[in-house]
């Protein structure tokens, strides 16, 4: 089986919803503060060589999940409701949200930093106990840990069931501005935690957790704690937002690491 070298951490089917021709998108590069109009190839952005390894196992899993979710996207954009979503597709959506929260380049780099810091601590402990190892001072600047993101991915697969008590809502954006997406497409927020200042409880299982995933410039999926929050004007799991300011606030929550699409 040929190795899948170019591995996307944002699915191509997701990015294509911001494309006029299904091949290219406009792109804002945060690092360089430059805007590129409709030239970024969907096949080449939000991806990295062998990000999940060369054995293809994680990539194959993503392909199976994404095939389900791509169909869900299409049905939601067409129907504007969840009535025709099957139980298997709902299960896939919960898993997909859990995975979106960790299958990012930032997650990989963060995990790599954690592992390197752990290695440094272990080395100091060995030296403190008499093991005088001759280690170059810059050794950790040269160390690269492959597939560091696989650990949080496996954890997300194991604990996605903590999301099952949250409810799905489809947001229809009828304002004059559009939803954006980025190389970190999922918005994880907790208004309840923010108001109480309980930052230590800011995780997937916390009371008041909410996740917003724009799936096109005009639609987003909200996964939220219906016990903690109520939504006015909610009809058949659809809420319409026509105020530009509210869409702006959602876009501001976007945790953009490097690019907006």
Do residues 238 and 80 lie in contact, with contact meaning Cβ atoms separated by under 8 Å? Answer: yes
Integer-rounded Cα Rg, in Å, for the chain is: 20
> Which tokens belong to 147?
């597939």
d(CA 75, CA 36): 31
Read off the pLDDT of residues 104-117 as tens digits, 9 standing for 90 and up.
777 656 655 655 56
Do residues 258 and 116 lie in contact, with contact meaning Cβ atoms separated by under 8 Å? Answer: no
b or e along 91-118 (b: 16 or more beta carbons within 10 Å of the residue's beta carbon)? ebbbbbbbbbbbbbbebbeebbeeebee
What are the sequence ranges of the domains in the chain?
Answer: 6-104+149-260, 105-148
Read off the pLDDT of residues 55-93 as tens digits, 9 standing for 90 and up.
888 889 899 999 999 999 999 999 999 999 999 999 999
Beta-carbon count within 10 A of 25 CB: 24
Q: Given pLDDT bands bounded at 50, 70 and 90, which one contains residue 150?
A: confident
């Amino acid at each position: 089986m040929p190795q899948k070298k170019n591995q996307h951490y944002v699915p191509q089917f997701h990015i294509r919803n911001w494309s006029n021709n299904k091949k290219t998108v406009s792109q804002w590069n945060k690092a360089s503060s430059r805007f590129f109009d409709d030239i970024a190839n969907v096949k080449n952005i939000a991806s990295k060589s062998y990000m999940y390894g060369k054995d293809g196992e994680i990539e194959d899993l993503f392909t199976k999940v994404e095939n389900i979710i791509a169909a869900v996207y299409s049905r939601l954009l067409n129907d504007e409701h969840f009535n025709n979503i099957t139980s298997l597709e709902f299960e896939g959506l919960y898993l997909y949200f859990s995975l979106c929260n960790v299958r990012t380049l930032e997650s990989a780099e963060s995990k790599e930093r954690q592992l390197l810091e752990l290695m440094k601590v272990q080395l100091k402990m060995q030296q403190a106990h008499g093991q005088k190892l001759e280690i170059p001072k810059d050794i950790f600047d040269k160390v690269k840990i492959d597939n560091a993101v696989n650990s949080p991915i496996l954890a997300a697969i194991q604990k996605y069931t903590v999301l099952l008590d949250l409810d799905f809502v489809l947001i229809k954006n009828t304002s004059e501005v559009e939803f954006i997406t980025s190389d970190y497409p999922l918005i994880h927020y907790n208004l309840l935690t923010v108001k109480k200042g309980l930052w230590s409880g800011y995780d997937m299982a916390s009371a008041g957790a909410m996740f917003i995933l724009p799936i096109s410039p005009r639609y987003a999926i909200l996964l939220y704690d219906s016990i903690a929050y109520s939504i006015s004007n909610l009809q058949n799991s659809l809420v319409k937002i026509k105020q530009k300011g509210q869409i702006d606030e959602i876009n501001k929550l976007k945790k953009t690491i490097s690019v907006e699409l």
